[in-house]
Structure 1
Amino acid sequence: MPVPTPPQPLRPADRLALAGLSIPDELAPLDPKAELVTRDLAITASESTPDQRADLLRRARALPQQPRTDPAPATPPHEQYLPGLGGALLRMAANRNLRWMSVARLLHTTRGLYVAASTIGGIGHDRVPLSLPLLADFSALLDVPLATLTALAGLVPETDSLPPRVHPPHPATPDIAALLPELARLTADQVRELAASAGLRVR
């Protein structure tokens, strides 16, 4: 049986995101084109066994990071957030090569939250208020301590106006959260090869 991974300290890129600071190229995802295959692999991995997910994580960590051939792309205007925790949550997601739709899909898979990509964008732009359930959702997906997020958020409602979660938290969530930063340092081809080596199907 795989041994549960203990909580990790905040990653350097996440500390910068929470401080509202820009991310240097060396901490940015290596290949923006890997976003969709990263999302697919994370969703597919959620359907595998704990032993298979542990093997996938070991394989991902063993892959070498290839040299960056292009500078990290500029942040598009719609992802330029005002200071605040909502924007920091989405900057931390972007550190994992996840944009709005991918965040929405993975929150649905891991936490049962079924919302549109525009709702995710609204969190970053302070159009969707934060709540304890929403902070718990992001805490689980990003592997960032909930206590850290609640301390930064201050007083937030204990309920929210978002749709009810359609299923309870997925037991694979901690494994997916640990896998995402590893995938962010790989190219799209490496992620596909990783999936194939583990017998998992992605696009």
Structure 2
Amino acid sequence: MEQHGFADFLRRFTKHQQLDLQSLNGAIGVSQMGLLAAATDERPDPAFVQRLAGPLNIEPVDLLVIAGLPVPDEGQAFDQAARGWIPRLVGDFVHISARGRAELIQLARSLPCGQSWQAVTNNRRREQYDTGPGAKVVRMLENRNLDWVTSAKLVHHVSGMAIAASTIGALGRGEKRLTPELVAAFDRILNTPSGCIAALAGIPESVDSRWPDANGVAELIWQARFVDGDHLRRLAERAVSLRDQSPV
């Protein structure tokens, strides 16, 4: 049976990335034995996990999720009313030229971030997730102000696969397993290094050659996560304009 502990993830991910564990140990100031011992703890120290994020090139909030730890409230202080604009934005983004994509990402970076929103909490019973890889992927989606509906729409935009919002919930509750195709789709949505989602799931990804070009999608979503609804609407309007200017 595939193991899904934090230490298991680190072993698979560092192997895929061909990372030198000795260099990683030096970067965070612990020995290899100390690294694996700390990662094997049932509840790793959050400070230790966040120290690992830089050398692994994984966002700290995502590595906390992978380690099975809670994300600080400030990491999920989103305008929930804004999230509906994200799939609309991406739906046009995948049909825009490379120059237009670069412009939209730069615009997203320059937009003001709302700091007064309350952190998203999952109090409804259906959103109480388990501890498996599917649940961790869903929590990583939530780190980007995405819920079940917006996540399902994004899977369609980056892969052409049609899935129900309830499928995202089933992944979170452990009622459905990640597939190689879903691993590949989420890899396009989440700005994680190559092989990260596959290492988390313990299975390889499978990309269909007919899928649309998703270059830049994950970065756009990451930059847009804290933007309020009004500014995201304007960004989406610019995306429509750029799509109209792009060759068919």
Larger Rg: 2
Gaps of 5+ in 1: 1-7, 160-164
Residue in 2 that maps onto 1:5: none
Q: For 1:139-194, what per-residue CA distance to the aligned partner results, in whole angstroms no more than 9, with x for missing partners?
A: 1221323522333333x4888xxxxx7x82211x1211110011111111111123
Residue in 2 that maps onto 1:182: 223
Structure 1 stretches of 4+ with a deviation exceeding 6 A read none
Number of aligned residue pairs: give it. Answer: 186
How big is the shift at 1:56?
A: 0.5
Residue in 2 that maps onto 1:17: 65
How big is the shift at 1:14?
A: 0.9
Q: Find the partner of 1:99 among 147, 153, 161.
A: 147
Q: Give the secondary structure class of the aligned counterpart of 2:174.
A: coil
Q: What is the CA RMSD across the aligned residues, in angstroms?
A: 2.5
8 Å CA contact 2:134–2:178 kept in 1: the answer is yes
Q: Give the secondary structure class of the aligned counterpart of 1:174.
A: coil
Report 1:92-131 matches (<5 A).
92-131=140-179
Q: For 1:75-104, what per-residue CA distance to the aligned partner results, in whole angstroms no more than 9, with x for missing partners?
A: 132222111110010111111111111111
How far apart, in 1, do the equivalents of 2:236 and 2:108 lie?
9
Gaps of 5+ in 2: 1-55, 243-248
What amino acid is the match of 1:38? I
What amino acid is the match of 2:220? L
How big is the shift at 1:198?
A: 5.3
Residue in 1 that maps onto 2:211: 169
Q: Find the partner of 1:193 among 225, 228, 234.
A: 234
Report the TM-score when normalising by structure 1: 0.80
Structure holding more helix per residue: 2
Q: Which has the higher contact order (CA 8 A, sep 6+)?
A: 1
How far apart, in 2, do the equivalents of 1:22 and 1:144 lie?
18
